[in-house]
Structure 1
């Protein structure tokens, strides 16, 4: 069964083709800098244990145009892997916000699309793009099943005491204001890998997803019981361009005393803050370069970033009543050994002790980086959201 997975971001589109139930992809690709100068596509095919890649550059105006170019690479390029769009059985779409309506992989119907559209305001950087890719895929892969896998679905197991805000119930009943949580596909995948590694179903795990967007989850016996992102993907940790937790009084103050509009405030906390606002760049690699030059803003940005993570580890240790393992995953979590060290320093009171040599030696597969005496396992697990989406789609169709 050929399942094409589409994982679209605000200016990017990742894809992988799986011949399920095999875990290794047939091909994968990335469309980057959509709508920005310097757009490019990298398409990689895996054959007989070897990797073959092709890269094309040229301005890509929108996600629809990007997806059409992906189809050309899949069917007509030097590294084509299918004969026609009809070879695709299903297209799995990552959709960021599913509200309370969706708790698992869902066949996309007109009604499902209406629900996704209703949630645009809750994930303005992602849901509109996800919706557009669904529409283009429906036109491109006419005979394929279109399936949505929601970032919020994994967190639907949160207890009411964790997902409710301390405001009148009417706002929850009327406006569905509650904690939803995000990065659920990633947290689900890495926590399942950790449970297998630990070989214990009854487990207490803290999953730390650090990319351009960052979130954490407290996972007990495989179920999410708390998470750092809330009603939208803004709260919790400091991120690439998002502020994370901020006192609402700051928003009121800027509106009242500086005349800020809602649009200006949304832009401030969603697109101008985080690593970018404090350190000068949303890319951790750029921040590290500035750090090596002694840049004071970069130093502060990294301290703030690590400090927020440590605070949540402490909070989730309390929520879980102990920890069996913590997981680092996603771009920063998997690739920045210095950040992992900064987070784990001075957490020995919780039984978290890093092995510096194992930390530095990490090379891209599931690995323990804790010391032999550490009571808590420290795991680095490469996330694989695309496979998790394909796996859920295959389960639904099977």
Structure 2
């Protein structure tokens, strides 16, 4: 089979690396990819949001399966264009991708299908939003309705900060059209988890649960980012906790989207929080999380292509096997990320051994034969091992060889881990 991965970040590197291991696969292409992937895949110079050109290229090159990575591609209609040409695609169409593309739409679905989530209201008017803030108080969560690259969520702890955030989004257009509508919701207490599922219509197959670290700095301080590191499993795919989350959250949403005439196909991501009342939903994403993909895929024992193909048929739900190991991933970021990352620094040792460690490249480029930093998140270093302690040690030992001038990383990834 010839496989095309759409995207250019660490998630897409991890997907290409995993797909390459399949006995069914002869060729792996990534569009547009990045220079750090060229050892395992052929790079295709087409933007990840140019849906029509991607579909034309896939058709002309007889691609057997397309796996869509980023949310921007899904909202741009990449899956729709592939479907129109009869090309097998793993990723939701534009209608189903609204589960991530609009926080308001996601809340409507959750309310309609009794999926536990925070109390919330949606606003387009500053005065109404501030009036509501003054009624409910802080701490509070304020979200841009649309896509903001994982940065459109603010957690103000003072009323002044909350008011300023509303003005910033609704009047100062901090997130452009994505912030023209905002969702204000209650602040939920508890540990956050990421539950990814393989979904096709009503078929839902959970992966191991991971935990992402969103804040830029140690001790969960600093601004929200796209993710500074992750580890898995917090709960195994066959655990009671995962079964409850699937039954109360993931399955009802998949079933609800089918009933709404917007059936979902692809990786459905549930951002969950374990409160005193049980799991509640923070958000849904229409694709694999990043950096969660980089720590979940190394634990997948089954052939990823086999799992996707069996999900796409009308046959039985596949049995997915997982390694009895832990994986810890640490993001190397550019100084100044997420506000104003400083780019163009030379990088070293951007390849790993592929046994206990992997390096998945994201924001990298090549200049005069040298790999340089070219994004806020540069790469993800992962360590795998039978115990969490060893996996973390493996990841940080590799990071010590990789980090360089103009970069930083969190030194406490996995700090909430508890031995079962």
Greater relative CO, 1 or 2 (CA 8 Å, sep 6+)? 2
| TM-score of the superposed pair, with normalisation by structure 2 | 0.29
| TM-score of the superposed pair, with normalisation by structure 1 | 0.30
Q: Which has the higher strand share?
A: 2
